[in-house]
């Protein structure tokens, strides 16, 4: 029987995400498997679809129960999938419940937009080109406070190989000619026919980490320029067959212009191979307090010095060239720093707008404290003495001025400091700012804490002032209670 007091938190780092371009729609990256011993010994893994599962515009994210999993044939769990940003901030989160059969998965084909992850908010989602995702599993209506933490890393690496095959007395070949190229990952066997009109290439992979190979072939002419005559792409499903063989045909111009392509009767063939590998680095229990190493401490010390300098720059106001004005206070600032941190300020100062020419920005919809906190974050990347109310106001300011990392930090703070008496106010805030991620999280929280929330005065007031939001929440409760039957895959 599952231990109701235990949750499992699996954090998976995928390094060099920009190198996953070779994946096709419907092809996942799979995490190392992990065992949840306290959850009846069940075994799980995560599946991420960077190029989309069903829709190329969205990244898919699924939880999978392994085929060799222990435990009952069907096992019901609650699970939460999340994308994390810098310092573990939650950027996207979705929660679900499902009864998993062995070798069955469940998740979200539209977990997050690809453009948001890889383009518009790349700095938030892919710091140092690394995507960090997280899955939390539990079996009770209310998520346990304590979790067993697991950690795994997958590294996507792109390796390039190239060589030139020079064939002497090429015009007088009387039989086919063979050449081999080997390294520690793959063997290439090349066979050129005597008519010089085709080349057969056989590739044999010896490493299971290779998931993709491309071959680009060219002829080098007398001036050292390359003329492409063919390319081939192979994926992991092709490589599993063993030897991959393909034929490349030379263009007719090769024989028609021998002085160019056969200088000194030598044919020079250039081969460029690109190999993509996916390497996993286990799944281990993570002890958060023991993770800092010496280099991390040095980096932290250097960062602290930089933050202190920028804090001084803000507090002193030296060389300021732009003012932010509330109804009662003026804040000296620097256009370059505001522009680097806020998309709204960047557009404001890049175009011929009133604020750019007059040297100040009037802010009438936020209090002094909120603007001061926003600027402290812009200059120092930190927040101090934050409370739920001040975090809510700061969230609104971050959304208005498109300070995306601050908005994410405030969102995470609100999620971590929820209680039955403030959840309804937070839900109104999320709805007002069209934040589907936060809104979904708050709806799930309220439903998990429904015994306390629905009996409170705050809930009665909420139903009176926001009937549509309360109706949406009741509809979500009804649909969540319809537990799905096991199946191979289902997505939203």
pLDDT tens over the chain, length 492 residues: 455 567 899 999 998 888 887 788 999 999 999 999 889 989 999 999 999 998 899 999 999 999 999 999 999 999 999 999 987 889 999 999 999 999 999 999 999 999 999 989 998 999 888 999 999 999 987 778 778 889 898 988 877 778 888 888 887 777 888 888 776 677 888 888 877 778 888 888 767 778 888 888 888 988 888 888 888 887 777 766 667 777 877 777 777 788 888 898 898 988 888 888 888 766 665 544 434 443 444 444 556 677 777 888 888 888 888 999 998 999 999 999 999 999 899 988 887 667 767 889 999 999 999 999 999 999 988 887 788 899 999 999 999 999 988 998 899 889 888 888 899 999 999 999 999 889 988 988 888 888 888 888 888 899 989 999 988 888 877 776 654 444 444 444
Q: Which fold has domain 7-146?
A: 2.60.210
E-strand stretches of 239-337? 243-249, 266-285, 322-325, 330-333
Cα angle 69, 488, 109 (rounded to 5 degrees) comes to: 110
What is the Cα–Cα distance from 254 to 227, expressed in whole angstroms?
Answer: 10
The verdict on pTM exceeding 0.75 is no
Q: Which of 61, 69, 66, 65 is nearest to 29 (CA)?
A: 61
Domains 7-146 and 158-279 share a fold: yes
CATH class of 418-479: mainly alpha
What superfamily in CATH does domain 317-403 come from?
A: Potassium Channel Kv1.1; Chain A (3.30.710.10)
Angle 341-347-351 from CA coordinates, rounded to 5°: 140
Torsion 431-435-440-446 (CA) sign = negative
Domain ranges, ordered by start, for the chain: 7-146, 158-279, 317-403, 418-479
Beta-carbon count within 10 A of 101 CB: 18
Q: Which CATH class is domain 158-279?
A: mainly beta
Three-state SS for 328? coil
Question: CB–CB of 55/109 below 8 Å?
Answer: yes
Residue 294 has what pLDDT?
A: 37
């Amino acid at each position: 029987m599952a231990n109701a007091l235990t949750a499992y938190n699996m954090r998976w780092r995928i390094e060099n995400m920009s190198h996953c371009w070779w994946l096709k729609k419907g092809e996942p990256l799979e995490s190392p498997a992990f065992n949840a011993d306290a959850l009846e010994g069940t075994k799980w893994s995560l599946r991420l679809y960077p190029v989309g599962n069903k829709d190329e515009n969205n990244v898919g994210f699924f939880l999978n129960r392994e085929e060799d999993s222990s435990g009952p044939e069907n096992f019901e769990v609650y699970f939460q999938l999340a994308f994390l940003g810098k310092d573990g901030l939650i950027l996207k989160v979705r929660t679900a419940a499902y009864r998993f059969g062995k070798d069955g998965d469940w998740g979200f084909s539209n977990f997050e937009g690809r453009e948001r992850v890889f383009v518009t908010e790349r700095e938030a989602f892919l710091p140092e080109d690394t995507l960090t995702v997280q899955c939390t599993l539990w079996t009770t209506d209310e998520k346990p406070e304590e979790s067993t933490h697991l950690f795994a890393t997958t590294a996507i690496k792109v390796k390039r190989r190239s060589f030139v095959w020079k064939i002497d007395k090429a015009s007088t070949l009387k039989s086919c000619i063979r050449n081999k190229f080997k390294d520690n990952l793959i063997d290439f066997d090349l066979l050129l026919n005597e008519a010089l009109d085709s080349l057969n290439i056989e590739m044999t992979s010896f490493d299971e980490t290779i998931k993709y190979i491309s071959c680009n072939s060219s002829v080098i002419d007398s001036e050292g320029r390359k003329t492409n005559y063919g390319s081939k792409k192979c994926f992991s499903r092709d490589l599993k067959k063993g030897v991959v063989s393909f034929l490349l045909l030379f263009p007719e111009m090769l024989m028609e212009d021998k002085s160019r392509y056969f200088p000194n009767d030598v044919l020079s063939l250039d081969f460029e191979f690109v190999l993509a590998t996916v390497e996993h680095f286990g799944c281990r229990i993570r002890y958060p307090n023991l993770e800092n190493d010496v280099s991390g401490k040095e980096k932290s010390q250097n960062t602290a010095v930089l933050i202190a300098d920028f804090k001084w720059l803000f507090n002193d106001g030296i060389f300021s060239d732009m003012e932010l004005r509330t109804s009662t206070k003026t804040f000296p600032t620097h256009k370059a720093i505001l522009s680097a941190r806020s998309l709204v300020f960047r557009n404001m100062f890049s175009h011929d707008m009133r604020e750019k020419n007059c040297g100040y920005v009037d802010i009438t919809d936020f209090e002094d404290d909120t603007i001061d906190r926003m600027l402290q974050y812009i200059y120092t990347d930190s927040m101090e003495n934050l409370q739920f109310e001040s975090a809510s106001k700061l969230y609104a300011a971050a959304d208005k001025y498109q300070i995306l990392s601050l908005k994410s930090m405030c969102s995470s703070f609100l999620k971590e400091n929820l209680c039955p008496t403030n959840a309804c106010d937070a839900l109104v805030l999320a709805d007002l700012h069209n934040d589907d991620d936060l809104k979904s999280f708050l709806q799930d929280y309220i439903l998990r804490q429904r015994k306390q929330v629905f009996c409170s005065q705050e809930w009665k007031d909420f139903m009176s002032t926001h009937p549509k939001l309360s109706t949406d929440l009741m509809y979500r409760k009804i649909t969540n209670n319809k537990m799905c039957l096991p199946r191979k895959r289902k997505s939203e």
